[in-house]
Each structure stands twice: as C-alpha cells, then as structure tokens.
Amino acid sequence: MFAIKSGLRVGLDIGSHAIKMVAAEKGSHGKVKLVQALSRDLYTGQDKYDADGPKKTQVVPLLLEMFQELGVRPKRIAHLASCIGGLNQAAKEIRTIQLSNEDMASSILQEARKHVPLDGSESVVDYQIMGEDPKEADKVRVIVAATTKRQFDAHVDMLREAELKPGIIDLEPLAAANSYLGHVELLDDGVVVFLNIGARRTNLLLLSRKEMFFSRDLPVAGYNFTEEIMKKLNVRFDEAEQVKKTQGVSVKPAKTTEGAGGYEGLALAEKMAMEKLGDEINRSLRYYVKETGQSFFTHMEVVGGMAECRDVMDYLASKFSIEVRAYDPFAFMEGVRDVRHRPQYAAATGLAARATAL
Ligand SMILES: Nc1ncnc2c1ncn2[C@@H]1O[C@H](COP(=O)(O)OP(=O)(O)O)[C@@H](O)[C@H]1O
Ligand SMILES: [Mg+2]
C-alpha cells in the first residue's frame, strides 16, 4: 500500500514530566494554524518521578496513544520537529563575519567546539543565524547549540521506536524561545528574562536585540517544589502534585508541630526551593551584567508547567521588582480555541512553527 503522507506539522516536546505535542498546518498570511494540542503526564498514579528522565518504554506507548488521539499514524508524519531537553546540552552566541554558507558552517562548527562545554564526549553541533550584529555591520549573530552524541542518538532512537521519522531536532530552551522570538520584536534597549520552568530544570534565557544572547540551565524547577510538599505534608508524589496545582507551593502542614523536629526544623536546615530558584536566577543575572554591562531587565516571560504557579510568579516579581508574565505561545496562532495550560506548550509550539516553515 502507498503510505500517504500527512500534511500535518508536528512539534513534539518530550519533557521530564510531560509529553507535549502541537499539531498544526499552514494558515493564512504565513501564520500557523492549530489543529490540536495534546499532552500526557509521564507519571500518574503512584509513580515516583524519575529525575534521570523518562525511559523509552514509558514514552513510546504514550506517544502512540497521542497520535491515535490525533487520528494520524506516526509514520505518516512527514514534518516533525522535536527537541532534546536534559542535562548535556548548551547554547551560546557567537558573532562572526558573514561568509558563504559552506564556509560559515565549517567555521561555526569549529568555533562551537571551543565554546560549548559539554561532558567531553563526542558532540552534535548545530547553529541558527539570528541576523545582523547591530553593533558591527559586517558581522552576524549566530546561536550555536550542542548536545552529546549519546543524548542525540537516544532521542532519535525513541522517535524511531514510535515509528516517527526524525526531522528537525532542536534544544528545548531554543525551541521554547522560538515560540516567542518568532512574534515579538525585541526592543533596542533592555533585556527580556525568558524562563522555561519545567519539572527538572529551569532554562533561563536572556534575550536582547543588541546584547549577547545568554542561556543557562538552572537545577531548580517544578519537581523541587513537589518534593518539598511531599516532605511537608508527608504525602505521595501524585498527591503532592495535586496540592501544588490546586493550592500552590506555599502550603503549610495541617498540624504544625511547633518547635524542634517538625517542619520548621526542616525549613531551617534546607533552603526552600523558591529561594533556591531566586538565588540561581539572581546569580545568572549578575553574571550577565558583569559580562555585558547591561543591567536593564525589562520584564520576565515565563513558560513551562510552572508558569501556572501563582505563588512562584509573585515571588519572582517581588524578589526582582520586575513585571512577571506567563507567555501564551498560542497567542499568534490561528484556530486556537479551548487549549488549557498554554505556557506548558511553549517548546512544542515553537517546534510546530519551525516544522510549518519547511
Ligand atoms: N497548573 C499547574 N500548577 C502548578 N504547577 C503545574 C501546573 N501544571 C504543571 N505544573 C508543574 O509543572 C511541571 C511540568 O512542567 P513541564 O513544562 O511540562 O515540564 P517538563 O518540560 O520538564 O516535562 C511539573 O513540576 C508540574 O507539577
Ligand atoms: Mg520542558
């Protein structure tokens, strides 16, 4: 039988907590038209969250289920864009003289190996040209992205197992940023703090028209808050997740055991996740100010599942005296009606947009 290819564009973000998928098609005036947005939590029931990331055996059945819900067989998807999250990845900006495409590729890849620190094993490198350098006319801004070959191969293997044909493969922080940069004009002055707060990691990006692009992964995110609630309330993972979503992360234990030994003792012994997150962000911002001399941070745009956590958003606003917004990555798409938990889909929408541009 002939395999009839589907015209659908699929952006797929296999996260550490949930799989997010955005199926789209070409809309009018170069816009992207949403067909369906789907997500599946990787840990349900009493499953304990695995900080090392989900296993192939967990992911593949869920992927198949999602494509079934979409009504298309995975092997019929001709335009897929997916992303790699996880630990061993990095992105960095370099500014280089404009060269022919071929020379550009080899020169950038050489540079990249010097600049992008990974674990020393074999790496896979890619780059994206961001446009002219507003500071030096003959140069261009290039974002170099790298991951380890091991991680890359494992990702491809996971896709193949689900009968998906690998297409564009991006890094998660860049995919999430693309959902924003594709639509929003960066101002001449100031830097946008773009945070993708998932379960295992927070990707912090500093985006600016003129200054250096900056990306760092912070080791504090949603799971740290869930773990804290598990300890505070002495509940299981899935119960703590429920509490987090309905009551927020700042819940107090019902029976406060005053004095030593109770939760108060725990609070003193360990820094709370909220504060840790704040400290990590602060450290990155300070580093950036030192490197660039630019200290005007205009506001924070937050995506990822934790963008729906009101108390985290409020904490960041007050700690940094800055406006903190949850970014809706569907804002510029056609055909969007009843999609819930929108910020969680940032990377998947960014990927769907890239797949649509093919
Ligand atoms: N409505 C919500 N309120 C609070 N936290 C949420 C909500 N929805 C998801 N989260 C949290 O966001 C995290 C998952 O976000 P996500 O961006 O999907 O992570 P990942 O990309 O690592 O899979 C989890 O820690 C989850 O508990
Ligand atoms: Mg994520």
What's the gap in Å between 227 CA and the centre of ligand 1?
13
Q: How far apart are CA 177 and CA 69, in angstroms?
A: 27
Which residue ranges make up each domain of the chain?
A: 223-269
| Burial of 139: CB neighbours in 10 Å, binned 0-12, 13-18, 19+ | middle
pLDDT at residue number 3: 55
Q: At which residue do the structure tokens 């890619």 appear?
A: 126
What pLDDT score does 266 carry? 52
pTM for the structure as a whole:
0.93
For CA atoms 226, 281, 201, 266, give the dihedral sign.
negative
* Confidence at residue 2, expressed as pLDDT on a 0 to 100 scale: 53
Ligand positioned closest to the Cα atom of 273:
1
Residue ranges of the chain whose pLDDT lies below 50: 1, 259-261, 265
Task: Report the C-alpha gap between 358 and 352 in whole angstroms.
Answer: 10
Minimum-distance ligand 1 atom for the alpha carbon of 223: 25
Q: Which atom of ligand 1 is nearest to the CA of 249?
A: 4
pLDDT at 1: 46
| CA 118 to ligand 2 center in whole angstroms | 20
